[in-house]
Structure 1
């Protein structure tokens, strides 16, 4: 128990050292999942161990941080942390996400090079053992396009709040040059830039593999203050954005256990009915992608609403049936 308390205090010290703006007592309590009074006692214990910690006025409260960071002895990564990093990098590489894989491999190299010789020799065998014993199953699907130069240009524009121009081999006018306000990147089965084109327009998705000749512009292009990339992603089941609709799905009792553990959408509400079936509701667009996913549930799922999703599912099934001589 004493070891666990010491570990929790060290976790808090790392949070306070890793936060540029500092943390309030309420933020500490939420991060550690404890009460405010417990968070206050833990802060005092950390302050006694790290007297360089400082309090910053942020009316009506205060923020606390350790501005000089922590000594390396407190920051040695564990074998489990390093193995998780390597496994994530290997998973990215296997799925085709070469740019993100390279970033994680580089981070792993920096962490290992920062370790003292004895610590590195002690942790290395355990890391290799865990890496050999754990892997990520790569599922069938398109390999995401991740060109380092494309991502670098997009990230430079986003960090500099600058406009971005590129030639786009898609849409109704392939090859046309576009000038946009970049808002973020959506990584998934395919990777997309989310951006605004022109004044008063709505955010759109642009496939990275159809973009070329990217240039960061000198013109300022800050994102709208009320824009949230996560909220934009949550508006659709997948990537394609169309009319947002109320979706109601019913899963048979035989698959209820699977459905209760399944994540159909970030905004879903899941209830189990008296007969053992499960009802899932959420709001989203992207009915075609949703129909493609629901097909994997076979006859164990029923589309209750909307009618457009039912129609889309029927149309997709008919198309597949015609392709295989069913009718």
Structure 2
């Protein structure tokens, strides 16, 4: 490890000097020849900001920043990735989330000195101009930034959140007090909350439907053994119904695609003798799972449970109503009846 030891020693020497070291000075300090010192300098320059000072006909080199600063300084790619996420959240209408990330971005840029800004600006401009977060089709919901702030404050303070809440089925707002069990971000942002004093499971509250939120005087926080990831894994998406054992069979022709796809975070994949796959997982949310499986039409078979098969038939009927009427077209009901008889 002698070479590594000499290289690290030179890094420290270059960071501790105030006047800089010449190549001859480096060689003398390390007990190597000038050519070796030159190669070591080049390696260090590829990882650190190595300043060069002209001293008559000789050049001196030094690392101006502390070594810790070198490892905490953001790269252009990291700043550009954060900037793309800010713009993507704004384009998706998620002003509250975008505001928090934009504040973080401003702090990251503000921590850079003029020399660092000049160093990363050319690369940052190029990456930011040609890098975007894709905004897909989905619900449009505006969440007030103060709503997110109040929910996060309640989590930190260990108290309940009080608010009025409305739904599509019940547009008249009703008062609620819940223990915050977490924030879940996605196409929509949800407060995961549980009514205090009840044994019910936590439920989702859409943040865009929360009206006049405030911190409650009642204390309440999630238990220390609460595992939000395990809770989320019990359902395919947001809707929660009885947990089902799901089995999907993928033919060999689609196996390559399925191996690179995540149907569920706890899925198990079985290799079949014919080159196909059998995918198993336990989850609720059969309607959302059925709608997702539409994208796999012709590429897999739902082996179970029966409730998922029935749900898929219902969604096919609903989907066929979107097609223009044709004189000889088989109706959705006929189609599903035929499929059911074939299954029997």
Matched, 1:133 2:151: no
**1:322 to partner: Cα distance:** 3.2
Partner of 1:283 in structure 2? 282
Distance 1:305 1:113, change over 3 A: same
TM value normalised by structure 1: 0.75
1:189 pairs with 2:180? no
Distance verdict in 2 for CA 1:74–1:321, change over 3 Å: closer
Greater displacement, 282-291 / 213-222: 213-222
Q: CA RMSD in A?
A: 2.2
Give the corresponding residue for 1:76. Answer: 73
1:251 shift after superposition: 1.7
* Higher Cα Rg, which structure: 2
Q: Which moved more, 1:167-176 or 1:258-267?
A: 167-176
Counterpart of 1:307? 306
Pairwise CA distance, 1:154: 0.8
- Quote the Cα distance in structure 2 between the aligned partners of 1:210 and 1:133: 35
- Asked if residue 178 in structure 1 is aligned to residue 180 in structure 2, the reply is no
| SS at structure 2 position matched to 1:309 | helix
Q: Secondary structure of 1:242's partner?
A: coil
In structure 1, how many angstroms separate the alpha carbons of the residues matched to 2:168 and 2:138? 23
2:204 match: secondary structure? strand
1:129-183 per-position Cα deviation (integer Å, ceiling 9, x unaligned) = 1122322322222235432111111111111111111101128754210111011
Q: CA deviation at 1:267?
A: 0.5
Aligned ranges for residues 221-236 of structure 1 at < 5 Å?
Answer: 221-236=220-235
Q: Quick one: distance in 2 between partners of 1:279 and 1:144? A: 38
What's 2:256 paired with? 257
The TM-score normalised by the length of structure 2 is 0.72
Residues in 2 aligned to 1:193 and 1:145: alpha-carbon distance in whole angstroms: 14
The answer as to whether partners of 1:79 and 1:127 remain within 8 angstroms in 2 is yes
Give the 3-state SS of the residue equivalent to 1:111 in structure 2: helix
The 8 Å contact of residues 192 and 202 in structure 2, kept in 1 or not, is answered as yes
What corresponds to 1:113 in structure 2?
110
1:28-43 pair list within 5 angstroms: none
- In the other structure, the counterpart of 1:124 is 121
Deviations 1:219-246 (A, max 9, x none): 1102123222111111100001111111
Identify if the C-alpha distance between structure 1 residues 253 and 113 changes in structure 2 by more than 3 Å, giving closer, same or farther: same
Following the alignment from structure 1 to structure 2, what is the Cα–Cα distance between the partners of residues 90 and 250? 39
Alignment match, 1:26: none
CA separation in 2, counterparts of 1:153 and 1:228?
22
Counterpart selection for 1:155 from 135, 152, 155:
152
Output aligned runs, 1:79-118, within 5 Å: 79-118=76-115
2:238 maps to 239
Within a 5 Å distance, the mapping from 1:6-17 to structure 2 comes to none
What secondary structure, in the 3-state scheme, does the structure 2 residue paired with 1:164 have? strand
Distance 2:137 2:278 in 1: 28
| SS state at 1:80 partner | helix
Inter-partner Cα distance in structure 1 for 2:133 and 2:146: 27
